[in-house]
Structure 1
Amino acid sequence: MEYLSLYLFLGVCLLLMLGYPVAFTLAGTALVFAVGGILSGVFDASFLAAFPGRVFGTINNTTLIAVPLFILMGTILEKSRIAEELLDSMSKLFGAMRGGLGISVVVVGMFLAASTGIVGATVVTMGLLSLPSMLRAGYSPSLATGTICATGTLGQIIPPSIALVLLGDILANAYQQAQLKMNVFSPKTVSVGDLFMGALIPGLVLVALYILYLVVYAKLNPEAAPPAEQGEVSVGDIVRGLVPPLLLIASVLGSILLGAATPTEAAGFGAAGALLLALIRGQMNVQRLREAVISTMEVTCMVFMILIGAAIFSLVFRGFGGEELIHSFFVAMPGGVMGATLVVMLVIFLLGFILDFIEITFVVVPIVGPILLAMGLDPVWLGIMIALNLQTSFLTPPFGFALFYLRGVAPESVPTGAIYRGVVPFILIQLSLMAALWIWPQMATWLPSLMQR
């Protein structure tokens, strides 16, 4: 009977590859298997009786309220052209140096990723704003597109990130299940704030490595990253473009890291602050606000529909004994916990070609998370590794989502091959960071443990 759970998982993956909607594929496939199992007497219908409790628990989950609020914050910053002004200010600041425009894109992309937390939105926005400027400045198409794609995926790891909010909620539940498996009753838990603190050092290191690569590349290939033409640079314009959004993001993130506010409270403050900033600058009207709210509603509905579909899927998967099958597989695997972790990371990397981070977070992590945590892994380290892994898979040709997003907004004069070539160095940088995090897990665990003292 346990192998039916694997057929269920493979069936879901196949239907998703055929293009069916994620939420309905998860729920529909699981229900078909469950009905067949009930009729054949191999599935206990009491597992489905737990579904209303799962939905009610989702409704009462105050952490998940941060998701629409963070999305609204990022959407307002995007619709009000604050991101465009930020890029313009950074271009004036760094544009005179070789590779300076690329550095500006990385820095602005980091802040945009921190405000939106959504890969597609960041890649499309940066593609529309910066790719024409970089091509006009004489940048190599591969360098320009690779920089934009890599920068767009920073939303996976730079806090406050939607991916980390969802991962934090799922890993908190997984950690509780792991403690039950180990018969350990500890008050210690994992929170979204812990993941934010854990992601801070790896995220900043990754940004620094991107910038270092651009500086070295521009030094070795000056014709591929020439200085941008500079207009009149005003310190006042640069300060006006940089300081307000930076203060907003720093306030949101700082309030969470210092424990002054929960992620939900900080997200509400960030959304209100973004709206106030847009109003002060005269960049917000009723039409733009309506577009921001509708966009937020669409993304939020998608997230929670997938969450409901994933809840049905996980119940049926467990009902067929899938969790026990995977646990026995991991325990028998050579290499112990490290071997099991490598296999999980490889599976998540491959699934990142066909699934978005939301589906992987809601489907895969609840299955493997409790097992890996029960084997002794640190939940913060595991969460950061998963986020970096997904970020890398979104860049990897030929199926990386970030590549498709940029291809959709890039001019026809930019060949797809140039986009693929451009992301290769950034993929190697991210793999190097994952290797460093594997060797020195303190990169992710030191700051959360310091703040808990």
Structure 2
Amino acid sequence: MIEYLPLFLFAAVCLALMLGYPVAFTLAGVALIFAGLGILLGHFEPNLLLALPDRLYGTLTNVTLIAVPLFVFMGVMLERSRLAEDLLNNMARAFGRLPGGLGISVILVGTLLAASTGIVGATVVTMGLMSLPAMLKRGYSPELATGTICATGTLGQIIPPSIALVLLGDVLSGAYQQSQLAQSIYNSEPISVGDLFIGALVPGLLLVVMYLAYLIFTAWRAPNLAPAGDDEKPEWGAFLSSLIPPILLILLVLGSILSGAATPTEAAGVGALGALVLALFKGKLSKAVLTDVVQSSTRITAMVFAILIGASLFSLVFRGLGGETLVHQLFDGLPGGVFTATLLVMLVIFLLGFILDFIEITFVVVPIIAPVLFTMGVDPLWLGIMIAINLQTSFLTPPFGFALFYLRGVAPDSVSTGQIYRGVVPYIVIQLSLLTLLAMKPEIVSWLPDLLRN
């Protein structure tokens, strides 16, 4: 029974999180309780806790994680500059006369916002406030309208620059370095955030195409669900003036990474400065706005790092109790080898997405399973993208999908929670279909990184 303490630790953390306790303190507090229990039972070495200060210092001085506050600042500043509002209005005029045109505009604008901000909550709330009333007024099905907005908002998880990919890249890099066999297989080069950014581009754009295909097919099959409008003719000058700035910012940030001219952290600094310049040119930059953006960025960053510190303690205690050895034994005993192990991991992450946030899964689950899968020969880049897309579904899966909560908070009372839940189901199926496609065709992930290396 003592050897199963790591599993009890994991279950206790999940239970405490479901009860609503703060994530960072739950991870650290439950870990310390189990460390004490392990010491009493002679199953935990107390000196292991002496390694915690060095781990925390390494976390807080991690150059890769400096990108987090910079990307957060960039996203919040773009949200406050109302860039999306002008872009959506002009995009709706361009496509509004087509069946499903307003929905197409929402997906395209959401894609640009995802590539500009990478913050799911900001995108869902912004698109919900701006586009949901217009879609309902035009006669869109509430399910189709809310599902499209929620799913589009989650694109910030997979389309770079994404805060989720920054955090996931750092965790996977640490897990990779722990796996000696994986290092020998993959030439001792750990996965980086830049690798994840490049590898996520094609799958992310493919997901956008699948969203658009579903919406266009629905509008063609049942025009009453997404009727065309009688919008005014687009003013192409205004359209281009609202479209070009975010595209230039995206090209500046991603182009510097893809070309090798800048690291993701350096590119994040460029993006933050670019967002300031855009806000200045739009006349939205003031002392009050800047103060609000800095305060919001500080709160979000502090939350992320507090969870990371708690997760570091959890990871240390989990390994000290023999958790990694237990997971190795579990995976080695599975029939089907690597395929079954990977399928089980994807299924567990998907199910945990019903009750846990992506940050919690990234910091708690991924460090446990990634070293084992790397040792079994799983490609680190492919695994990272698969996990990222899987985590994206955690924002959509009821009952605790955060995108659903964000939209519920700004949706009119005429839209029921049940309609929002039903609306996201087709998009969850699309995301799972993409996961299946990537499992069958891993070269979709590796094609662009291999091309840029050569």
Q: Note if contact 1:149-1:395 (Cα within 8 Å) is conserved in structure 2.
A: yes
Contact 1:353 1:401 in 2 (8 A): no
- Deviation (angstroms), 1:123: 1.4
How many pairs does the alignment contain?
Answer: 453
Which whole-Å CA distance do the structure 2 matches of 1:76 and 1:182 have between them? 40
1:261 aligns with 2:262: yes
Please tell me whether the aligned partners of residues 106 and 147 of structure 1 are also in contact (alpha carbons under 8 angstroms): yes
Q: Say whether the 8 Å CA contact 1:159–1:253 is kept in structure 2.
A: yes
Give the match for residue 82 of structure 2: 81
Tell me how far apart the structure 1 counterparts of residues 84 and 99 of structure 2 sit (CA, whole Å).
23
| Residues 246/184 of structure 1: CA separation in 2 closer, same or farther (3 Å cut) | closer
- Partner AA of 1:399 in structure 2: F
Q: Equivalent residues in 2 for 1:329-408 (5 A)?
A: 329-408=330-409
Question: What residue identity is the alignment partner of 2:114?
Answer: A
Question: What's the CA shift string for 1:5-41, capped at 9, x where partnerless?
Answer: 1111110000000000000000001011112222332
Listed one character per residue, the Cα deviations across residues 315-337 of structure 1 (whole Å, up to 9, x for unaligned) are 00001000100011001101101
**Kept in 2: contact 1:70–1:115 (CA 8 A):** no
Distance (Å, rounded) in 1 between the aligned partners of 2:21 and 2:53: 25
Aligned-partner Cα distance in 2 for 1:400–1:412: 19
- Structure 1 match to 2:229: 228
Task: Give the distance between the partners of 2:247 and 2:210, measured in 1 at CA.
Answer: 21
1:191 is the counterpart of 2:213: no
Contact 1:137 1:229 in 2 (8 A): no
After TM superposition, give the deviation of residue 120 of structure 1 in Å. Answer: 2.0
Separation in 1, partners of 2:186, 2:84: 46
**Which residue does the alignment assign to 2:73?**
72
- Where structure 2 has 5 or more consecutive residues not aligned to the other structure, the ranges are none
Cα drift, residue 154 of structure 1: 0.7
> Could you tell me which residue of structure 1 aligns to residue 59 of structure 2?
58
Query: Match of 1:278?
Result: 279
Q: TM-score, normalised by structure 2?
A: 0.97
**Pair 362,381 (structure 1): closer, same or farther in 2 beyond 3 Å:** same
Find the residue that maps to 1:354 and give its secondary structure: coil
Q: 1:304 — aligned with what? A: 305
Matched, 1:202 2:203: yes
Asked if 1:444 is matched to 2:449, the reply is: no
Cα drift, residue 179 of structure 1: 2.6
Aligned position for 2:140? 139
- Cα distance in 1 for partners of 2:83, 2:180 equals 45
Which residue number in structure 1 is paired with residue 328 of structure 2?
Answer: 327
Give secondary structure in 1 for the equivalent of 2:187.
coil
**Residues of 1 paired with 2:322 and 2:351: CA distance?**
24
Residue equivalent to 2:159? 158
| Aligned residues of 2:356 and 2:400 also touching (Cα < 8 A) | no
Deviations 1:171-205 (A, max 9, x none): 11111112357766934221111111111111101
What RMSD over aligned residues (CA atoms) do the two structures have, in Å?
A: 1.4
1:185 & 1:212 partners in 2: Cα distance?
37
Q: Shift of the alpha carbon at 1:57?
A: 0.8
Q: CA deviation at 1:145?
A: 0.3
Aligned-partner SS, 1:411: coil
Corresponding position of 2:117: 116
Distance 1:184 1:219 in 2: 49
**TM-fit CA distance, 1:296:** 0.6
1:435: how far off? Answer: 0.7
Question: 1:95-147 CA distances to partner (integer Å, 9 max, x unpaired)?
Answer: 12111110111011111112222222221221112111111121111110010
In 2, Cα distance between the equivalents of 1:382 and 1:185?
14
Structure 2 distance, partners of 1:352, 1:120, is: 16
Structure 1, unpaired ranges of 5+: none
After alignment, is 349-358 or 322-331 more displaced?
A: 349-358
- The answer to whether the Cα contact below 8 Å between 2:182 and 2:374 also exists between their aligned partners in 1 is no
Counterpart code for 2:419 = A
Q: Which amino acid in structure 2 is aligned with residue 201 of structure 1?
A: V
Q: Letter of the 1:57 partner, please give it.
A: G
Q: Which residue type is aligned with residue 95 of structure 1?
A: G
Q: Please give the residue correspondences for 1:244-255 in structure 2 after superposition, counting only pairs within 5 Å.
A: 244-255=245-256
Residues in 1 aligned to 2:12 and 2:70: alpha-carbon distance in whole angstroms = 34
Task: Give identity over the alignment, percent.
Answer: 65
